[in-house]
Amino acid sequence: MTEFIRKRAANAKNDILSGLTVALALVPEAVAFAFVAGVDPLVGLYAAFMIGLITSIFGGRPGMISGATGALAVVMVNLVAEGNAMGAADEQLGLYYLFATVILMGVIQMLAGVFKLGKFVRLIPHPVMMGFVNGLAIVIFLSQLGMFMTTENGKEVWLHGSELWIMIGLVALTMGIMFGLPKLTKKLPEALMAILVVSAIVIFGNLDVATVGSFIRDGGGEGLKGGLPQFQFDIFNKVSFTWQTLKFIGPYALILAAIGLIESLMTLNLIDELTETRGNTNRECLAQGGANIVTGLFGGMGGCAMIGQSIINIKAGGRTRLSGIVAAVALLMFILFASGLIEQVPIAALVGVMFMVVIGTFAWSSFRIARKIPRSDLFVLVLVSGLTVLFDLAVAVIAGVIVSALVFSWENAKRIRARKRFKDDGTKVYEIWGPLFFGSIKAFNEKFDVKNDPETVEIDFVESRVSDHSALEAIFNLVEKYEAEGKSIKLKHLSEDCKILLYKASPKFREVIIEAIDDPRYHLAANPEEFPKPLSEYKF
């Protein structure tokens, strides 16, 4: 027990400090995403607290941070708007439809965990992963550019003059501290120290710059302060759980669940690589789903893993569940007791932190390897990056996987070969090389000359693998063509699962497939004097 506690406490200082840093970075992100979705800032902050806490305790990846995200917020915009249109102007019906959708989203994610669908993230190719991190880095960068804008005469315009130069200077100072401090000492968390130093300069220098508090008020909020999350009984009063409601929120819930799981599981894989450890994808699905159900019931906008905050946490030394728990609890403490202090933090400091996250997130090696990898992989990398920026993560990843699968199928379709030879008795043998599947069937059929072949033919699959139903159908049709010409055809070295399927398809395959045959690849060169008995009687 002592050893268990000692191991958990070894990194406690780093976990606590990194958690505090992440909590500071969560505030403007959660508020901004709430504004994007068209809901009150507290809805985003409550989501960040509840999802962050639950996934930190029960999730499959210690050190990963979850909360309200932009990828989900952009989908919620139409949901909230359409929901509001169904009720009175001051009824905020869209907000309650959002809560119901988040609950359904959580149920779908938990089902994904129950049916162990998290393992399918392993099917995502590396170029898609690189495109994902590059696209997400670009999205994070572009999201921060909005902080360099202000409102003049009711219009959004870029900062100019001294305001712009002060903003740039504070951002640069933040980035400089984060870059230089680790070179002097690794005992202090660079992100937290940068935020504190820049905040002190702004407060004691009485600089007129945008802060977290002004950011919230400019967006229409009343401030950061709030109470504990309350159970939303009005969901069951204002949303009628009928078939019509399910038809409305169902597609949104499915899209949100897919985006949330893809972003969470890909972030999990990225953190695995950074920490050289392994997370549990199915457990993460269950935790994300459960967290979204809870946050929907208690008035949060839903969420998933946040790559930016997760990398901040990992870079600051956060490794265990304690870092995520501290971040979530500290965020709640900010809301309850320290709203005045947090509202004084300059936006420039948080923008600087996020810019350093962008630099750390972007896979700069993709430029170096661009000329060394296949063109198809480079195309997938660029495609996923572009689609992540233009649309959303789910569309980008699904498109990348589909393109990668098509390229793989096309390349393997070209590898089917048939070496032809004749036995002493005149039998023609086709030795098949390469995978036989839907993509290679056309090339496979072109290898045979049914009309001009001799009376007896053998097809040897010793170097081939029959992969799908299309391949089985091709073999079935080929046998029928030879038999229609009155010729004898035999098949050998088929895999066991292929033989079972062919036997089910037609009893005549029992006469066509040769069962009692040795695989030439497994013959042993042995001295008869050392093994006087047949080799089959020996146990190796």
pLDDT in tens, 370-409: 888 899 999 999 999 999 888 777 788 889 989 998 998 8
CATH of domain 417-522: 3.30.750.24
Q: Greater confidence, 295 or 363? A: 295
Most confident residue range from 88-102, 200-214, 247-261, 279-293: 279-293
Angle between helices 321-336 and 41-58 (to 10 degrees): 150
Q: What is the mean pLDDT of residues 102-112?
A: 96
Kindly report, residue by residue over 473-504, the tens digit of the pLDDT.
899 899 999 999 999 999 998 878 778 878 88
Q: What is the mean pLDDT of residues 508-534?
A: 59
pLDDT at 284: 95
CA angle 141, 143, 145 (to 5 degrees): 75
Place of tokens 């360099």: 148
C-alpha distance from residue 224 to each of 227, 232, 275, 345 (Å): 10, 20, 34, 12
pLDDT at 524: 39
Which of 43, 114, 27 has the alpha carbon at shortest distance from 345?
Answer: 27
Which amino acid makes up residue 367?
F
The answer to whether 132 touches 384, Cβ cutoff 8 Å, is: yes
Question: Mean pLDDT, the chain, as a whole number?
Answer: 85
pLDDT at 536: 47
User: What is the Cα–Cα distance from 143 to 147, expressed in whole angstroms?
Assistant: 8
Whether the pLDDT of residue 26 is over 60: the answer is yes
Please state whether the predicted TM-score (pTM) of the whole model is above 0.75.
no
User: What is the Cα–Cα distance from 309 to 304, expressed in whole angstroms?
Assistant: 12
Most confident residue range from 61-75, 380-394, 439-453: 439-453
The answer to whether 31 touches 41, Cβ cutoff 8 Å, is: yes
Q: What is the mean pLDDT of residues 27-56?
A: 85
Whether the pLDDT of residue 77 is over 60: the answer is yes
Q: Greater confidence, 449 or 340? A: 449
The answer to whether 275 touches 317, Cβ cutoff 8 Å, is: no
pLDDT at 530: 47
Confidence of residue 5 (pLDDT cuts 50, 70, 90): low
User: What is the Cα–Cα distance from 509 to 501, expressed in whole angstroms?
Assistant: 10
User: What is the Cα–Cα distance from 101 to 250, expressed in whole angstroms?
Assistant: 7
Hey, where are the domains in the chain?
15-402, 417-522
The answer to whether 395 touches 143, Cβ cutoff 8 Å, is: no
User: What is the Cα–Cα distance from 478 to 472, expressed in whole angstroms?
Assistant: 10
3-state secondary structure 16-61: HHHHHHHHHHHHHHHHHHHHHHCCCHHHHHHHHHHHHHHHHHHCCC
Quick one: residue 223, left, alpha or beta (phi over 0 = left, psi -120 to 50 = alpha)? left
User: What is the Cα–Cα distance from 387 to 400, expressed in whole angstroms?
Assistant: 9
pLDDT at 451: 92
Whether the pLDDT of residue 533 is over 70: the answer is no
Contacting residues for 166 by C-beta, under 8 A, at least 6 apart: 207, 209, 348
Confidence of residue 221 (pLDDT cuts 50, 70, 90): low
| Percent share of the chain, pLDDT over 70 | 92
Q: What is the mean pLDDT of residues 136-162?
A: 84
pLDDT at 527: 46
Which amino acid makes up residue 259?
I
Q: What is the mean pLDDT of residues 286-311?
A: 93
pLDDT at 219: 65
User: What is the Cα–Cα distance from 112 to 286, expressed in whole angstroms?
Assistant: 8
Contacting residues for 464 by C-beta, under 8 A, at least 6 apart: 416, 432, 433, 434, 435, 436
User: What is the Cα–Cα distance from 395 to 181, expressed in whole angstroms?
Assistant: 39
DSSP letters, 71-128, are: HHHHHHHHHHHHHHHTS-TTT-HHHHHHHHHHHHHHHHHHHHHHTTGGGGGGGS-HHH
Q: What is the mean pLDDT of residues 227-243?
A: 88
User: What is the Cα–Cα distance from 216 to 301, expressed in whole angstroms?
Assistant: 17
Q: Greater confidence, 494 or 454? A: 454
Most confident residue range from 16-25, 203-212, 289-298, 311-320: 289-298
The answer to whether 258 touches 292, Cβ cutoff 8 Å, is: no
Q: What is the mean pLDDT of residues 110-119?
A: 90
Q: What is the mean pLDDT of residues 148-172?
A: 88
Q: What is the mean pLDDT of residues 256-280?
A: 88
Whether the pLDDT of residue 169 is over 90: the answer is yes
